[in-house]
Structure 1
Amino acid sequence: MSDILDGVTTFVRVVETGSFALAAERLNLTRSAVGKVIVRLEKRLGVRLLNRTTRSQSLTEDGQAYYDRCVRALAELEAAEADLDSGRREPRGRLRVSVPQAFGHHCVAPVLLGLARRHPQLRIDISITDRFVDVVEEGYDLVVRVGPLADSVSLAARKLGMQYASIGAAPAYLARHGTPRNVDDLRGHAVIAYLRAGTAQPWDVVDVDGQIRRAQVQPQLGFDDMQGIVDAALAGFGLAWLPSWLLSRYEKTGALVTVMENCFRPAQEVHLVWPKSRYLPLKTRCAIDALVAEIPAMIGAPAADAPRVRNT
């Protein structure tokens, strides 16, 4: 008797992604392999599940009915595995995590390395990128987001803390060009910009009076990688907005100093995000607990005299 579940997961993924090619990518298969699975499934069931053309695909009436039941069946299997998982004390299996570059290197990776050391049956795959990933579509178990979260019915989230940012520069640069004291002083200074989708992000500053002001600056250099910004600042190329927790590491050695200490960038929330599910796998729960326990102390808090943002 053939395996009744043979091809079911592939079929569901094809429907969910709307594409054989995308389903193949998510399942780490070739497109032709996915096509053969669907053909075998249709042959075994004796019905056509999908109407296929060179450009599109759609469910047949039988396909829609079968898909609905497959989704419910897979949900029950997921629940059964979660029940078994909850009885274990040792997390195991593959955990896929995506984190921003600097935050990932300096904060998240050390925590997850410790988790891997404590749980050798847990395989952790970490993608370190500033690219905005689709948690569900790309199959991630856990993602770190810095900044506001969009509303989503498919995702759950837990706040890790607030990320504050300050302006830093190398002492040699300040010796050559002077130290700015307020937002107006930034005009004419060389700055190093953070690029998002190829566009330099504006320098919005919470001034000493609590007002958010946009500094009139012209970047000489731009990076889409925070560590690249740090390296340029260390080389004396100009002023750089850096997360306060990252800047403080270089201040301790004297390589960088904070300027305009009473001015800050508006703080950003940091969240853990994962696919919403009735049952949270033990491997994901252990990673969340470890990050919640350690990350807040790493990113710290702003100086006591940080200005409060005033609504205008």
Structure 2
Amino acid sequence: MSDILDGVTTFVRVVETGSFALAAERMNLTRSAVGKVIVRLEKRLGVRLLNRTTRSQSLTEDGQAYYDRCVRALAELEAAEADLDSGRREPKGRLRVSVPQAFGHHCVAPVLLGLARRHPQLKVDISINDRFVDMVEEGFDLVVRIGPLPDSASLAARRLGVQYASIGAAPSYLAQRGKPTNVNELRGHTIIAYMRAGVALPWDVVDTDGQIRRAQVEPQLAFDDMQGMVDAAIAGFGLVWLPCWLLTRYVQTGQLVAVMENCFRPLQEIHVVWPKSRYLALKTRSAIDALVAEIPAMVRAPSMDALPRA
């Protein structure tokens, strides 16, 4: 008797990714191997599941009906594994996580490092970059995102906090150029900006009267990497926009000074996101719980009186 589940996971992955090549990549197989699995499955079932062309494939009517049942069956198997997980004292297995660069280095990685130390059977793969990943297609268990979340019925999320942002500068720069106290006084200063998709983001700043105004500044330097911004600011190049959780680290060492605190709008929410499922693996649940427990204190807006000023 043949294994009734033989080829089912591969078939579901091909449908979900829409591509034999992508399915092969996610499963660490060759495209040829995936194709052979589907052929064997169709031969065993006696029906064609996929209409294939050189560029794409689509489900047949039989394939759609079979896919729907396979998804339900795999969900039940996931539930059985989750039940076993709940009886284990230790999370185990490989956890794949994608996080933004600076936030990943300074905030998320230390939390996951602590989790891995507590649970030696847990293997954590951390991808650190500012690229917007498709977590389902690329096979990530968790993604940390800063900013608006896309509407998606396939994803679940927990809020980790809010990212506040301030203007900072090196003491040497402020000694030479002076400290701006309102939006108008930012004009004429040397600016270090954050760049996304090749465009420097504008400075929408809360002014002294509480109104939000766009600063009339022309960045001389722009980075798509926050550590590069920090390095340029410490070198005394100019005023820099930085998240409070990052600026505070360098304020405490005396390398930077907070010039205008918590002044950027809109505020950006921080979430941990994962593929929605009826059952959540213990490894994933443990990581979510650790991030929810530790990240909020890291990103909380600092007290205005606690930051050194120029």
TM range (shorter): over 0.9
Task: Give, in angstroms, the shift of residue 264 of structure 1.
Answer: 3.9
Which 10-residue stretch deviates more, 22-31 or 48-57? 22-31
Aligned partners of 1:146 and 1:230: how far apart in 2?
Answer: 19
In structure 2, do the counterparts of structure 1 residues 77 and 126 end up closer, same or farther at CA, with 3 Å as the change threshold? same
Task: Give, in angstroms, the shift of residue 21 of structure 1.
Answer: 1.6
Aligned partners of 2:210 and 2:24: how far apart in 1?
Answer: 52
Task: Give, in angstroms, the shift of residue 304 of structure 1.
Answer: 5.1
| Correspondence list, 1:1-312, <5 A | 1-261=1-261, 263-303=263-303
Count of equivalent residues: 305
In structure 2, do the counterparts of structure 1 residues 28 and 208 end up closer, same or farther at CA, with 3 Å as the change threshold? farther
In structure 2, do the counterparts of structure 1 residues 222 and 5 end up closer, same or farther at CA, with 3 Å as the change threshold? same
Aligned partners of 2:264 and 2:17: how far apart in 1?
Answer: 42
Normalising to structure 1: TM-score of the pair?
A: 0.93
CA distances 1:32-68 after superposition (whole Å, capped 9, x unpaired) = 2211211122222222211111122111222122212
Aligned partners of 2:55 and 2:162: how far apart in 1?
Answer: 45
Amino acid at match of 2:75: A
CA contact (8 A) 2:165 2:261 kept: no
Q: Secondary structure at the match of 1:137?
A: helix
CA distances 1:241-275 after superposition (whole Å, capped 9, x unpaired) = 11111111111121111113474443211111111
Task: Give, in angstroms, the shift of residue 2 of structure 1.
Answer: 2.6
Aligned partners of 2:29 and 2:262: how far apart in 1?
Answer: 54
Aligned partners of 1:44 and 1:162: how far apart in 2?
Answer: 53
CA contact (8 A) 1:208 1:263 kept: no
Which 10-residue stretch deviates more, 250-259 or 19-28? 19-28
% identical aligned pairs: 85
Amino acid at match of 2:193: A
Q: Secondary structure at the match of 1:96?
A: strand
Aligned partners of 1:141 and 1:209: how far apart in 2?
Answer: 45
Gaps of 5+ in 1: 306-312
Q: Secondary structure at the match of 1:219?
A: coil
Task: Give, in angstroms, the shift of residue 302 of structure 1.
Answer: 4.2
Aligned partners of 2:8 and 2:79: how far apart in 1?
Answer: 17
Amino acid at match of 2:287: A
Amino acid at match of 1:157: A
Task: Give, in angstroms, the shift of residue 80 of structure 1.
Answer: 0.9
Task: Give, in angstroms, the shift of residue 8 of structure 1.
Answer: 0.9
Task: Give, in angstroms, the shift of residue 108 of structure 1.
Answer: 0.8
Aligned partners of 1:49 and 1:34: how far apart in 2?
Answer: 14
Aligned partners of 1:61 and 1:44: how far apart in 2?
Answer: 17
Amino acid at match of 1:268: Q
Please report the RMSD computed on the Cα atoms of aligned residues, expressed in angstroms. 1.6
Gaps of 5+ in 2: 306-310
Task: Give, in angstroms, the shift of residue 71 of structure 1.
Answer: 1.1
Amino acid at match of 1:275: P
Normalising to structure 2: TM-score of the pair?
A: 0.94
Aligned partners of 1:263 and 1:66: how far apart in 2?
Answer: 55
Amino acid at match of 1:81: E
